[in-house]
Amino acid sequence: MSLDQQVVHLKHREGSEGGTRYIAVASGKGGVGKTLLSVNLGKCISDTGKKVLIVDADLGLSNVHLMLGITPRRNLTHFFFGEATFEDILVRVSENLHFISSGSGILELAKLPKDQVLSLIRRLQELAEGGYEVVIFDTPPGIHEDTIAVVSAVDRPIILTTPEPTAVADAYALIKVVNREAGTESFSLVVNKVEGEVEGRKVYESIRLLTDRFTRAKVEFLGSIRYRKNLIRRIIDQDPYDRVFTSDVYNILSKMDLGVSPKRRSFWDTLIGRLFGR
């Protein structure tokens, strides 16, 4: 499915009452934790009392519902075939957190005509600005037209990478392409699966040096997320919330002007950090 940059307009209207903030979580390659971050961002923001909507923007390969262990009765497919309204496809995770699934492996959704895409976007905007303070888009990995369109249209594009060289190279490539093709200049970077903040900052500096030299983009470092072995088991068990992971997410959110404060580290977390540099 192609979402042309000139067609997509997800930013909130100037002076609109809702003041909805739009965030996209994107990555240059798969397997870096993009959906896990999207889900945890949604939970942490909603836990502060804000109304949050997660939109699984990976049409045809939706997996937010798998991460949450929820099987939606309705998804975007039903909406497009006239079998459900947007309200019908909203899935309640908690009082303040909802999500919309695009469905899984449905080729029809990847070949929609532009008029249907426009209809979706207009309805989505009405829904978002009518009831949510923050909307998070979990975009497809890689460099695709729909990813470029969403990333370039939101208020805050977050690029996620890991220290793995291929992930770093692909993250830089995504920033470069979005900057060149859509003119987006401001990006935020999060580095996942690090041993500590020092490693995350090194990854950031390597990307920043490239973007400063070869693009007009400016990349802000939001922070790092420490590697946790037990996360694999949690994901398998469809319980994506880990105490240390969410603590790092709160630290990231505290730099995003969303009114979210960082969580104070416990005595034991602080002690371990001092002893092992984490």
pLDDT tens track for 60-106: 555 666 667 677 788 877 877 778 888 888 889 999 999 888 765 44
Let me know how long the chain is: 278
In angstroms, the CA 91 to CA 53 distance is 9
| pLDDT, position 132 | 94
List phi, psi (to 5°) of 269.
-60, -40
How large is the average pLDDT for residues 138-152?
85
Indicate whether this model's pTM tops 0.85: no
How large is the average pLDDT for residues 102-114?
61
Asked if 207 and 175 count as a contact pair (C-beta separation under 8 A), the reply is yes
List phi, psi (to 5°) of 223.
140, -175
Question: Which helix H or strand E contains 251, and what residues bound it?
Answer: helix 243-253
How large is the average pLDDT for residues 239-249?
79
Ramachandran class of 69: left when φ > 0, alpha when ψ lies in -120 to 50, beta otherwise: left
| pLDDT, position 95 | 93
pLDDT in tens, 1-14: 444 443 444 444 44
In angstroms, the CA 251 to CA 30 distance is 24
- Is residue 272 over pLDDT 90? no
Q: Of 47-61, 73-87, 132-146, 155-169, which one has max mean pLDDT?
A: 155-169
Q: Which of 278, 162, 158 is nearest to 220 (CA)?
A: 158
- In CATH terms, 21-255 corresponds, of 3.10.110.10, 3.40.462.10, 3.40.50.300, 1.20.1530.20, to 3.40.50.300
In angstroms, the CA 108 to CA 37 distance is 28
Burial of 242 (0-12, 13-18, 19+ CB in 10 A): buried
pLDDT band at 17 (very low <50, low <70, confident <90, very high): very low
In angstroms, the CA 93 to CA 97 distance is 5
Give the domain ranges of the chain: 21-255
Q: Reading across the β-sheet that carries 21-27, which strands appear in turn?
A: 90-92, 97-100, 52-56, 134-138, 21-27, 156-161, 186-194, 218-226
| pLDDT, position 173 | 97
